[in-house]
Chains A and B, each alone.
Chain A
Amino acid sequence: MSSFLTLVRKEIRDAAQSRWLVGFALSFGLLVLLFARVQSGGDVFAEGFNRTTAGLLNLALLAVPLLALLLGAAAVATEREQGTLATLLSQPIGAGELLLAKYAGLTLALWAAVALGFGLGGLLLALVAPLGALDRYLVFVGLAAGLASASASIGVLLSVLLRTRLRAMAAAVLVWLVLTLFYELAAIAVALTISASGRTLLLASLLDPVEAARILGILAVEPNLEVLGPLGAYLATELGTGVTAGLLASALVAWVAAPLVVAVAVFRRQDV
């Protein structure tokens, strides 16, 4: 256990020194304030958290998965490429333990970046804007952290499967494109052309963590059928908001666990 915690601490320390995470936290803190200003239409911060949250949602759905996928993809592949993996594994720590420690450290660092970025911006906003929709803003921050966990899990799996850093990161970008862009387009195409069954639409919304987070975010901020998109609209209409939120939250949890389980199983069998 002490080796596990040592590795987790090291990952967090490395992440804190990484320009990516610090840049991410600062950028999002500024964006929170910028969105609040722009969306208030000149009346600075008048609309407060609700409009800001809605505006930030789409941006977070793009940026958070990209960052988490890339950092996850670099996690093991970088160690392998630098030759440090064999040295680490020659210590009394199992392959599964090593992978989980790296994931835990990375996820905690991502959470810290999300909390710092959105939290700092939110705090400044709270000083000058109405606090009415603060609860929704907090749900949004939690959702961003959940999406970061799921994306990092997928990234770590790519890092285990693809043995060089370049290939793992290229695959991470490809996965990001599919999850954030192509998946939504494909869902619209399916809904328009082949009048898919309810079960297909339900499955489609669960099979993409970004889509699941998007629908969850909209449900939390302003449940509007036009904004929810084809999958979200179907779920909200057929299952109701509560059941939909429960299903999608479970899907996000599954997206955290499943890639990680596969990654550990593969990593344990791999030669160093």
Chain B
Amino acid sequence: MALIEAAGLTKRYPGVIALDDLTVSIEGGIVGLVGANGAGKSTLIKLLLGLIEPTQGTAAVLGFDVCRDRPHLRRIVGYMPEHDCLPSDVSATEFVAHMAQLSGLPRNAARERTADILRHVGLFEERYRPMGTYSTGMRQRAKLAQALVHDPRLLFLDEPTNGLDPEGRDEMLDLIRRTGREFGIAILMASHLLGEIERVCDSLVVLDAGRLVEAGPLRNFTAATGRLVVEVDGDRDAAAAALRARGLRVTTDGRSVFLVEPADDRTLDLVRDVVAELGLGLVRLEPARRQLEDLFRRSEAATPEAVRV
């Protein structure tokens, strides 16, 4: 059974299509939902949680229809919203235990589970402090704790590193990775930061302006391109010209790095020989891989104002 299946899923607001005819099937693991701000990531998560009604189309999460089976669905998913959702005058223990009880846990079980989960996210020592006194990182952890407390099968994380400094971001990404790997909880993580996605996720769903750009395992997005990346220390143009003279296709990108096709053993030898003949330093020579950024460059060119109506 797929983790998430959507068919023709569309959400329109007056004047804008937030999500446009999304058809996708997402398998388990840690899934990155990537897109620029306004791409439709939060809209998709809210649709999958049944918090908003689709204008068109259907979606199922873990086999439950998002419109018809909301109570069942919400017992097995957790949601960490992008925006702040924590009351400032309440302690993390009180808040997380309340959410646990709301999800159906008896009071004592909720208390025990809250202590466990606050330990997992690293807030155990600070659990009785009012959340208004927490740092941004601690508040993000408390948000994650309330999403995890009822032991969901799937976790929706909307921009979980929002507002965090680099160290806090690393810690949060590590926590997400451990939650997915050690607890075996499937995760759909929305982010506009490609670096984060690359570090944590197994697969990707890429949205742009409400449309699906591409979906699949992360390795597909970073597969070898059949070209070599060459970086030289010295006269790059001379090296490129020499390689072209030997029948290779060479693309330059304005820096000391350029791309050479095809990426086979003969080309590797040729590059080595040319660089040696010209007396240049060879800084880098490796197979070129696709970059996640390429997806957005392509989609920008393909769909100029696709979602405006």
A residues adjacent to B (C-beta < 8 A): 2-3, 6-7, 10, 82-84, 86-94, 269, 271-272
Contacts and interface: CB of A to CB of B under 8 A. Distances in A.
Contacts of A86: 46, 51, 79, 81, 85
Contacts of B51: 86, 89-90, 271-272
B77 interface: yes
Contact of A94 (B46, B71, B77, B98): B71
A6 B75 contact: no
Nearest to A98: B102
A234 B75 CA distance: 56
Contacts of A10: 98
9 contacts: A2-B104, A6-B102, A7-B102, A82-B87, A86-B81, A90-B79, A92-B71, A92-B74, A272-B46
Interface in B51-96: 51-53, 70-72, 74-75, 77-79, 81, 83-87
Given A90-B49, A94-B70, A94-B71, A83 B102 contact: no
Interface residues of B, number: 27
Contact of B99 (A91, A94, A269, A272): A91
Nearest to A88: B102
B101 interface: yes
**By CB atoms of chain A within 10 A, which of B72, B75, B99, B106 has the most?**
B99
A234 B106 CA distance: 56
A84 B98 CA distance: 13
B102 A271 contact: no
A3 B51 CA distance: 18
A83 B101 contact: no
A271 to B, nearest CB: 4
B103 interface: yes
Contacts of A7: 102
**By CB atoms of chain B within 10 A, which of A6, A88, A89 has the most?**
A6
Contacts of B10: none
Contacts of A92: 71-72, 74-75, 102-104
B84 A2 contact: no
B146 interface: yes
B98 to A, nearest CB: 6
B83 A83 contact: yes
Nearest to A271: B52
Given A91-B74, A92-B104, 11 more contacts: A2-B101, A82-B84, A83-B84, A83-B85, A86-B79, A87-B146, A88-B102, A90-B49, A92-B75, A272-B46, A272-B51
Contact of B102 (A91, A94, A272): A91
Contacts of B83: 83
Nearest to A2: B104
A153 B247 CA distance: 81
A10 to B, nearest CB: 6
Contacts of B79: 86-87, 90
B142 to A, nearest CB: 11
A272 B52 contact: yes
B71 A83 contact: no
Contact of A87 (B53, B70, B71, B85): B85
A87 B103 CA distance: 11
Contacts of B85: 82-84, 86-87
Contacts of B78: 90
B219 to A, nearest CB: 32
Interface in B22-50: 46, 49
A84 B53 contact: no
B81 A87 contact: yes
Nearest to B51: A272
A271 B49 contact: no
B55 to A, nearest CB: 11
Nearest to B77: A90
A220 B280 CA distance: 104
Nearest to B105: A2
Contacts of B104: 2-3, 92
A87 B72 CA distance: 16
Which 9 pairs between the two chains have the least Cβ-Cβ distance? A90-B79, A83-B85, A271-B52, A92-B74, A91-B102, A272-B51, A83-B83, A6-B101, A87-B85
A125 B98 CA distance: 41
A93 B102 contact: yes
Contacts of B74: 90-93
Contacts of A272: 46, 51-52
Contacts of A83: 81, 83-85
B61 to A, nearest CB: 12
